[in-house]
Amino acid sequence: DGGITQSPKYLFRKEGQNVTLSCEQNLNHDAMYWYRQDPGQGLRLIYYSQIVNDFQKGDIAEGYSVSREKKESFPLTVTSAQKNPTAFYLCASSIGSPPTYNSPLHFGNGTRLTVT
């Protein structure tokens, strides 16, 4: 079955360490996205990529980095520069960018990152 796989589901790190969250999709979608969700808040866009080897900053890119070397993969690195990294991280993809009625957003099942 086609879908988006995020791993791990839960991740615990000590403050000051960089951590990389994995996102893989086999939907053959060109566009991929990373969102962050905090309790009681809407999803906020961190980075997005419309095509391989290209990515753009979203609304809250500071303290994060990404790469898009393959169409299927869009890993997110949470660096030690991110002030409040503890959150629920969601990876998504769509056929094209931006997501539209004919190309809606599909999400992975998320990674809960806790930094202490």
Tokens coding 51:
């095509």
Q: Which of residues 29-88 bind other proteins (CB under 8 A)?
A: 33, 35, 40-45, 48, 56, 58, 88
> Residue holding tokens 């990152």?
113
Cβ atoms 99, 32 nearer than 8 A:
no
Site string for other proteins, 91-110 (x = CB under 8 A): ------xxxxx--xxxxxxx
Does position 114 interact with other proteins (CB under 8 A)? The reply is no
Whole-angstrom CA distances from 46 to 1, 23, 58, 93, 101 are 27, 14, 5, 14, 22
Does position 2 interact with other proteins (CB under 8 A)? The reply is no
The least CB distance from residue 101 to other proteins, in Å, is 5
Tokens coding 50:
């419309």
**Which residue ranges make up the site for other proteins (CB under 8 A)?**
33, 35, 40-45, 48, 56, 58, 88, 90, 97-101, 104-110, 112
